[in-house]
Structure 1
Amino acid sequence: MSEHVIAPKSRGFLFLDSHPEGCRQLVDEMWQAVPAPVAAGGEGPVALVIGSSAGYGLAATIAGLARVGIRGIGVCFEKAPARRTGTAGWYRTAATARLARQYGRDMVFLNGDAFSDTMKEQVADLLAERFGGRLDYLIYSVAAPRRTDPDTGRLHTSVLKPIGSPHTTKTLVFDEYGAPEVKEITAAPAEGDDIEQTVAVMGGTDWERWITFLADRSLLADGFTTAALSYIGSPLTAALYRQGTIGAAKSHLEATARRLDERLGTMLGGRAVTSVNAAAVTQSSTAVPGIALYVGLLRGILGDAMVAPIGQLVELWDQLTGARPLDLDDEGRIRLDTWELDPAVQHAVAERWSTATSDTITELADLDWFGDEVRRLYGFRVPGVDYTAAVETDVPWPAPTS
């Protein structure tokens, strides 16, 4: 047993510890936010969620379990409790597994490098031995700083840079006392093989490798469907995101989807799509300069009309399973971001962005909400949690039930 009172300590938007009870209650909240399950006879479909412990991947896992009744496998990469607490994803996974068991869902969680062929072998063996040797759905939601190519052993590192020329943008930071500051930063442009490296990590290469690996083992069911989660975002953040190195990776992901869609359609009557999700506060998004400011302003305009990741992923599962019609844009992408990119909303955000300064930001953006959302990523500021009480930090990784 290892009980501690855990106080939030951070470096910018990165917190050094996570709160197990807060993470558990956050997962409970997300599960309870899912509408009643879609009626289905017999066992639920078999699904694989790659990147199941955080952000949209976590939402995909919980929405799939609670809405569709999926069974299957979640893959993520989290750190166990040691000198510090476990990562928030470690505790969220334990909480998700507990709810899955409670509601009779057979969900196994594997902790390791999703880019490796070792993990692919482990998943393939589990699908064959435990889940009847047939996979119905694969959700790909991986945001990683680096990837080792299994064929060459080369380590690729992604970068967040504009392409062509330096780019200056506004960004939101908080000083040591928690006061908000709006600053300008200038990002140097990509050079050398920065674009190639970022595409190798964040593009569609590993997604396609998963599909090929499982297809070669004859593990894809007839009608198999796969979706990779993506983001386009606002023109305000485009130079550093969608038009930058990350955007090049997203374009590669979408090109991969088109290639996989043709292949799966011919082979299995299946399909592959990208799902363009909308803005949210996630551990990945807070690392992008300008995104914190943009999301805070967006919330200041829309309030509760913003659709949380769990709501977006319910919509995605409904479309993938046929509960609602598949709604694709001209590029063959599912668009869950139309409320964010509505021209009137973007015009309002742009107006606030242009006048945002350290003196005006509290009037223009919902910073209380933003601060709470950042802390909730690590299990803090969750209603109903007593943060003065000691809590057990040595939570074990969920063992698969028999």
Structure 2
Amino acid sequence: MSLREIKPGNRGYLYVNSHPVGCEAVVDRMWEQAPEPVGDRPGPVALVIGSSAGYGLAATLVGLRGHRMRGLGIAFEAAETERRTAGAGWYRTARTAELAAEAGADFSFLNGDAFSDGVKDEAASRLAARFGKVDLLIYSIAAPRRTDPLTGEVHHSVIKPLGTDYRAKTLVFEDGVPQVGALHLEAADEAERDATVQVMGGADWQMWIDVLESKGLLAEGFRTVALSYVGSDITAPIYRAGTIGAAKQHLEDTARAINTRLGGTGHAHTVVAGAAVTQASTAIPSIALYTSILHRVTGDGWQSTVDQAAALWEQLAGDAELVLDDQDRIRLDGWEMDPRVQAAVRATWDEVGADTIADAADTGWFRDQVGQLYGWDVPGVGYGVAAETSVAWPAAPVSGG
């Protein structure tokens, strides 16, 4: 037992401490939003890489509740220390495992660096021993660095424009009051671009496929998807036309390479999701202001990560036709990229300033969403009392159980 009175300890959008009860409540809410299963067909054996946060978490919860998914989730989360709580993803994973067990799902979790050979081998061994073959791999990793297991070199990603410097509006909070700030980022050099591609591109996704294939774990009709984003022309200079965009292009090129490798026995797609407030997206300059305006414009038309994960699963399960673009990407972002929505966001973006931000953008909603990523600002959670912070990582199932 380790009861603590916890304080967020945040600086901007980064929180030092996570709240375990709040994280549990967030997962419970997402679980309730996920569709219930239809019929009694068995679910696929799936490997979800990046299962503790963002779209990976949403896909895990929807797969478990709505599609009787079996298999393994992988995340890389920090344990509790004397000074800090465990990472938010640690607490989210613990609650996800409890819900999975209550639903009777044969699904376990592995905590480790998915970029490493050791985690790949352990995951493959677990899957082989328990299931034999894998039907689906969902790849949803956003990381600041990656150690190349072939060379040992550590690559660090950067969020910068390419070609020219980037100047734009940004959302900042001063003493809790939303303000429109000014941002200036210098263009990335070639080495920074290449390092970002090494971290956030498709190299590791390809390695996962190679490992599973080498061990005979790809089921007939195997499918794999990797989460991506395109976004608006408003954010294009810092996203799609920047270093991250170069990495996403490499991810899409990798999908084509995987399809060639599979030779018709399976298929790979990148999945273009819509905007979301995630721990990864909050690190991208200007995304906060853009997302706050987008939420105000879309209103009830906003699609949460669970909404989008449900749409993805329907397509993967064959319950709905694949929504593909001319580059063979699954598109979940139609609600965001609707021309009328984008026109309204653009008009607001061009005019928003210190005097209008309160009405032009859902800044309070955005700030609460960021807090909830770490278990804070969740309605109904009592933050004034001590909470149990020592939560065990879910145990692996007994072999043959």
- Residues of 1 paired with 2:253 and 2:193: CA distance? 16
Taking structure 1 as the reference length, the TM-score comes to 0.97
Letter in 2 for 1:207: W
Match of 1:300 in 2: 296
Taking structure 2 as the reference length, the TM-score comes to 0.97
Match of 2:244 in 1: 246
RMSD between superposed Cα atoms in Å: 1.0
- Residues of 2 paired with 1:136 and 1:197: CA distance? 31
- Residues of 1 paired with 2:142 and 2:302: CA distance? 23
Match of 1:11 in 2: 11
Match of 1:375 in 2: 371
Secondary structure class of the residue paired with 2:336: coil
Secondary structure class of the residue paired with 2:335: coil
Q: Is the 8 A contact 2:50 2:140 kept in 1?
A: yes
Secondary structure class of the residue paired with 2:161: coil
Q: Please tell me whether residue 126 in structure 1 is matched to residue 126 in structure 2.
A: yes
Match of 1:274 in 2: 270
C-alpha deviation, 1:35, in angstroms: 1.5
Deviation by residue 1:375-402 (Cα, 9 ceiling, x = unmatched)? 1111112122111121100011011233
Q: Which of 374, 377, 394 in structure 2 is aligned with 1:398?
A: 394
- Residues of 2 paired with 1:309 and 1:262: CA distance? 30
Tell me, which stretches of 5 or more residues in structure 2 are unaligned? none
C-alpha deviation, 1:192, in angstroms: 3.7
* Aligned structure 1 segments of 4 or more residues deviating by more than 4 angstroms: none
Match of 2:178 in 1: 180
Match of 1:191 in 2: 189
Match of 1:384 in 2: 380
Deviation by residue 1:325-377 (Cα, 9 ceiling, x = unmatched)? 11211000000001101111011101111111122111100112111111111
Match of 2:100 in 1: 100
Which segment drifts farther, 2-11 or 48-57?
A: 2-11
Q: Is the 8 A contact 1:38 1:323 kept in 2?
A: no
C-alpha deviation, 1:206, in angstroms: 0.4
Match of 2:57 in 1: 58
Question: What pairs up with 1:239-388 in 2 under 5 angstroms?
Answer: 239-266=237-264, 268=265, 270-388=266-384
- Residues of 2 paired with 1:305 and 1:5: CA distance? 38
Match of 2:77 in 1: 78
Deviation by residue 1:75-106 (Cα, 9 ceiling, x = unmatched)? 01100111210110000000000000000001
Q: Is the 8 A contact 2:35 2:62 kept in 1?
A: no
Tell me, which stretches of 5 or more residues in structure 1 are unaligned? none
Deviation by residue 1:276-318 (Cα, 9 ceiling, x = unmatched)? 0000110000100000000000111112210000110011111
- Residues of 2 paired with 1:98 and 1:173: CA distance? 37
Secondary structure class of the residue paired with 2:375: coil
- Residues of 2 paired with 1:369 and 1:7: CA distance? 21
Percent of aligned pairs with the same amino acid? 55
Which segment drifts farther, 90-99 or 187-196?
A: 187-196
Match of 1:215 in 2: 213
Letter in 1 for 2:64: L
Q: Is the 8 A contact 2:45 2:136 kept in 1?
A: yes
